[in-house]
Amino acid sequence: MPKTVVLTGVGHDQVGIVAEVTQKLFDFGCNLLDSSMTLLRGEFAIILMLELAENQSMEDLRSRLKDVEQKMGLTIMLRELSANEIAEQTDSGTPHMISVYGGDKPGIVCGITQQLAKLGVNITDVETKASREGSETIFVMILEVSVPKAMSTQDLEKGLSDVSKTLKVDVTVQSVEVLEL
């Protein structure tokens, strides 16, 4: 049975990181399942979920990736998922997008995410940006979340209302329609 592995890597951005990593994985016979990659102020981060053939070992994969780490200046970590972790990958919640906008200050991410946790909302993706507009720094956070089926969009908005007032940020919640192929 193939092994499911999560690869995480981070390093200073440069052209060719994705090509080098994925070529090495392809050469080793890995199948990419899911990926997320981003550039944060000059640092590149990569997360890949891949399938490793059953005749391949984690140690061999680590060894094969060492030259990519050195060549591209990356720090790569590998973790094999257990059967239970693989089985947990299905999410039964309703997808929503939440946008947070306001003057930049410490505590916005913490305040919003803590309230979401209290509401039982699972965060599946987060992106934040701070940018200058004149003399003020504006903070924007976009969250992709999975909301429990029993919770309506209006309930989620109400659940975030107090924390948004406390933090002095605007919070917008939108249900996402998912098309199945």
Tell me the per-residue pLDDT of 58-106, one tens digit each, with 9 for 90 and over. Answer: 999 999 999 999 999 999 999 999 988 887 766 678 999 999 999 999 9
75 in any annotated domain: yes
- Mean pLDDT confidence for 34-47: 94
CB atoms within 10 A of CB 35: 13
Pseudo-torsion of CA 89, 6, 22, 125, nearest 10°? 60
Say whether pLDDT at 164 is over 90. yes
Same domain flag for 106 and 155: yes
Q: What is the pLDDT of residue 123?
A: 95
Confidence band of 132 (pLDDT split at 50, 70, 90): confident
Same domain flag for 53 and 26: yes
Q: Report the mean per-residue pLDDT for the chain.
A: 93
Same domain flag for 32 and 101: no
Q: Which of 71, 87, 103 is the last residue of a domain?
A: 87
Question: How would you class 141 by CB atoms within 10 Å of its CB: exposed for 0-12, middle for 13-18, buried for 19 or more?
Answer: buried
Q: What percent of the chain has pLDDT over 70?
A: 96
For the domain that residue 117 is a member of, what is the CATH number?
Answer: 3.30.70.260
180 in any annotated domain: no
36 in any annotated domain: yes
The range of the structural domain enclosing residue 60 comes to 3-87
- Mean pLDDT confidence for 41-65: 94
Same domain flag for 81 and 152: no
For residues 43 and 74, give the distance between their C-alpha atoms in angstroms, rounded to a whole number: 10
**Helix, strand or coil for residue 132?**
strand
For residues 67 and 163, give the distance between their C-alpha atoms in angstroms, rounded to a whole number: 47
Number of domains in the chain: 2
